């Protein structure tokens, strides 16, 4: 069960390429398994391997623990979320982490059902600041029927119209976004609506058990939450008059499976959602359990064997869920896995602050396998997803991929890659035999400055990034990264966010500038690299008594028809030499 807008307050970023200890090697769980024997096997910790067997991939450790319980099949893996705002990457945590465990179990021949519950019978307590449309694009409330939300505060999400007018409810819209994201990443997940579980009677037995022993439930809950007194009834009916959730139950008839209620006000922070005062009767299917009971109730109803959740739930929600499961419902809780939140651009994920990113947004910038790789890294280590430095994440993925194909001298990374890579690329049943051709991400960003596809291919071949015998299919797949890197440059407005002029701009330079450009052309023709070209530009400008800024401006004009751009010498070193020489000499 994920927490909305929650993230680590202090999460260091990943190691940069070249660091002596990349953060994807050797992994925390692997180290624990190597040490072996230190674990006591607590309910809220997964990772120690009692047998001491080394596991290169954390999902194997979790799968071992699930199988140790000898579960019935299908093995059920669950995640969940309350549909309260934009379906961002933080909401996707449990789907993708559950996917790796599910994939490992399926590889072992197990039948697995991966479900994701939408807590859509919860009431809408406040207006979200932003929403996402059917394509995952973030929009403000001014672009939708915000009144559809504002008029329905206090009502279940499934009773609120879709502000986009496309789905049967706001909850259905939100669930469809998450399901589409899962499809984009090739994750077979079944979306489950809490509202439907209540409506079809799946929660009847759980609700009856809870309301049959109010004293026992109160005793358990009082250890974890305030305001549990002798009058507290853990059931929230939906008012038949106004449709809002109310927390005031005045009587319970377990045999009739009904409760008496009064529709009272609901306090939400400093705000109050007014009840209508209606007094009525609701069946067990016309209301819901509070979340401390509903979460373990889902474990019982769905037969959950494993559930990952954020660390915010580890200290309060999980212990109370375990207590309720065992001492109220009489079932065992699932195998847990507490994961660390990740930060975005160094700050906590926050819908209200606008610090979020969606799966579709990220897939415009990188391949699905790179995003899956990010979540394949150890879940108990906090890390930062920095969009400005996305090239470093892609570089680490490329290194991980090379390790799988035996091209990296790192024993731990290679062990991790050999185990995890087939799952990361979605081919556990048919592991790749040939390494894909990958353009370095920043080089792809350089090519993104060029609009001509043929010129892009020629530059990539000239730099040795595409083999001479590469098929058209291989070339197309390799060059697909260019548009993603170009989108990254545009999103971050970084040094690659320029457009290379394929034709010579209409320029006219003073004689001293022209002579300096000719000398630089000779230097480039001699075969020097980008760093040397960058240094030589300063020397050449001084030798011709040209202001350095004027000389660089001339170069930018030649290549970008602009007065500024990336570090010019280094950029020229990435381009086809003959092209650079001809352009510096002002030749068509």
Q: For residue 142, is it within any domain?
A: no
pLDDT confidence tier of residue 30, bands split at 50, 70 and 90: very low
Residue 102 pLDDT exceeds 90: yes
Phi/psi for 204 (5° steps) reads: -55, -50
Those residues with Cβ within 8 angstroms of residue 141's Cβ, 6 or more apart along the chain or in another chain: 127, 128, 129, 130, 131, 149, 163
Is the bond into 221 cis (omega within 30 degrees of 0)?
no
- Averaged pLDDT for residues 312-320: 85
Provide the pLDDT for residue 273.
94
Peptide bond preceding 209: is omega within 30 degrees of 0, i.e. cis?
A: no
Query: Domain containing 560 — which CATH number?
Result: 1.10.10.350
- What does the alpha-carbon distance between residue 512 and residue 547 come to, in Å, rounded to a whole number? 10
Whether 449 and 482 share a structural domain: yes
Helices vs. strands in the chain: H and E counts, helices first: 23, 16
Task: At 333, list the tokens.
Answer: 């809780």
Name the band, by pLDDT with cuts 50, 70 and 90, for residue 54. Answer: confident
In-domain check, residue 263 = no
Q: What is the pLDDT of residues 180-191, one digit of tens each?
A: 999 999 999 999
Decide if 84 is inside a domain. no
Do 537 and 565 lie in one domain? The reply is yes
Residue 548 lies in a domain: yes
**Residue 94 reports pLDDT greater than 70:** yes
- Sorting pLDDT into bands at 50, 70 and 90, what band is 564? confident
pLDDT in tens, 397-417: 999 999 999 999 999 999 999
Q: What is the mean pLDDT of the chain?
A: 88
Whole domain around residue 457: which residue ranges? 441-492
- Of 492, 524, 551, the last residue of a domain is 492
Assigned domain for 359 exists: no
576 and 519 assigned to the same domain: yes
Look at phi and psi of residue 86 and say left if phi exceeds 0, alpha if psi is from -120 to 50, else beta: beta
Do 515 and 578 sit in the same domain of this protein? yes
pLDDT, residue 253, reads: 97
Looking at mean pLDDT, say which of 21-30, 337-346, 494-503, 534-543 comes out highest. Answer: 534-543
> Alpha-carbon distance 485 to 480, whole Å?
9
| Residue 562 within any structural domain of the chain | yes
Q: Is residue 219 part of a domain?
A: no
Answer yes or no: is pLDDT of 33 > 80: no
Structural domain total, the chain:
2
Examine the domain organization and report whether 481 and 520 are in the same domain. no
pTM, to two decimals: 0.86
Query: For residue 410, which of 15, 3, 2, 10 has the smallest C-alpha distance?
Result: 15
Answer yes or no: do 565 and 517 share one domain.
Answer: yes
Query: What pLDDT, in 10s, does the model give residues 410-456?
Result: 999 999 999 999 999 999 889 999 999 999 999 999 999 988 899 89
Residue 3 predicted with pLDDT over 80: no
Q: Residue 23: how many CB atoms within 10 A of its CB?
A: 17
- Residue 205 pLDDT greater than 70, yes or no: yes
b/e burial code for range 564-581 (CB count within 10 A of at least 16 → b): ebbebbbbbbbbeeebbb
Tell me the C-alpha to C-alpha distance, in Å, between residue 243 and each of 146, 150, 240, 393: 19, 14, 6, 47
Cβ atoms 362, 89 nearer than 8 A = yes
In a domain, 516, yes or no: yes
| Percent of the chain at pLDDT exceeding 90 | 71
Residue 18, pLDDT score: 36
| Stronger pLDDT, 355 or 40, i.e. the higher one | 355
545 and 486 assigned to the same domain? no
Question: What is the structure's pLDDT at 52?
Answer: 52
CA distance 32 to 27: 9
Instruction: Judge whether residue 311 has pLDDT over 90.
Output: no
């Amino acid at each position: 069960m994920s927490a909305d807008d929650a993230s680590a307050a202090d999460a260091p970023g990943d190691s940069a390429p070249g660091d002596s200890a990349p953060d994807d090697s050797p992994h925390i769980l692997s180290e624990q398994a190597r040490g072996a024997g230190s674990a006591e096997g607590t309910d809220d910790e997964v990772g120690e391997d009692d047998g001491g067997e080394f596991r290169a991939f954390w999902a194997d450790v979790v799968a071992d623990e699930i199988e140790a319980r000898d579960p019935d099949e299908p093995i059920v893996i669950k995640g969940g979320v309350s549909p309260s705002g934009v379906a961002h990457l933080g909401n996707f945590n449990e789907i993708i982490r559950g996917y790796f465990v599910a994939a490992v179990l399926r590889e072992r021949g197990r039948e697995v059902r991966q479900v994701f519950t939408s807590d859509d019978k919860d009431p809408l307590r406040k207006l979200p600041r932003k929403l996402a449309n059917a394509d995952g694009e973030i929009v403000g409330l001014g672009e939708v029927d915000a009144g559809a939300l504002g008029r329905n505060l206090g009502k279940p999400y499934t009773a609120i119209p879709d502000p986009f007018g496309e789905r049967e409810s706001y909850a259905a819209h939100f669930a469809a976004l998450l399901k589409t994201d899962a499809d984009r990443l090739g994750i077979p997940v079944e979306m489950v609506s809490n509202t439907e579980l209540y409506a079809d009677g799946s929660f009847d037995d759980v609700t009856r058990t809870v309301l049959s022993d109010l004293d026992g439930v109160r005793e358990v809950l009082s250890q974890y939450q305030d305001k549990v007194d002798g009058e507290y009834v853990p059931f929230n009916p939906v008012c038949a008059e106004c449709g809002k959730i109310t927390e005031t139950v005045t009587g319970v008839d377990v045999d009739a499976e009904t409760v008496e209620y009064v529709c009272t006000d609901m306090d939400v922070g400093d705000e109050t959602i007014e009840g209508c005062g209606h007094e009525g009767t609701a069946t067990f299917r016309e209301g819901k359990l509070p979340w401390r009971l509903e979460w373990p109730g889902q474990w019982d109803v769905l037969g959950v064997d494993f559930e990952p959740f954020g660390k915010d739930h580890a200290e309060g929600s999980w212990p109370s869920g375990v207590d309720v499961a065992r001492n109220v419902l009489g079932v065992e809780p699932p195998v847990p896995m507490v994961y660390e939140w990740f930060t975005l651009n160094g700050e906590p994920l926050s819908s209200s602050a606008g610090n979020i990113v969606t799966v579709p947004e990220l897939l415009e910038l990188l391949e699905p396998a790179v995003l899956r790789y990010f979540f394949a890294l150890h879940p108990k280590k906090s890390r930062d997803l920095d969009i400005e430095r996305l090239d470093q994440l892609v570089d680490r993925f490329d290194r991980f991929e090379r390790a799988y194909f035996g091209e990296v001298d790192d024993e731990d990374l290679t062990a991790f890659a050999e185990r995890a890579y087939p799952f990361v690329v979605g081919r556990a049943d048919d592991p790749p035999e040939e390494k894909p051709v990958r353009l370095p991400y920043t080089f792809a960003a350089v090519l993104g400055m060029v609009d001509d596809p043929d010129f892009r291919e020629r530059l990539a071949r000239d730099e040795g990034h595409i083999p001479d015998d590469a098929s058209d299919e291989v070339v197309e797949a390799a060059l697909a990264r260019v548009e993603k890197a170009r989108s990254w440059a545009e999103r971050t407005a970084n040094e690659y966010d320029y457009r290379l002029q394929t034709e010579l701009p209409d320029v006219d330079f003073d004689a001293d500038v022209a002579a300096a450009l000719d000398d630089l052309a000779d230097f480039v023709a001699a075969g020097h690299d980008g760093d040397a070209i960058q240094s030589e530009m300063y020397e050449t400008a001084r030798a011709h008594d040209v202001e350095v800024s004027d000389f660089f401006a001339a170069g930018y004009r030649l290549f970008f028809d602009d007065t500024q751009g990336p570090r010019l010498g280094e950029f020229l070193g990435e381009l086809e030499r003959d092209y650079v020489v001809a352009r510096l000499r002002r030749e068509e």
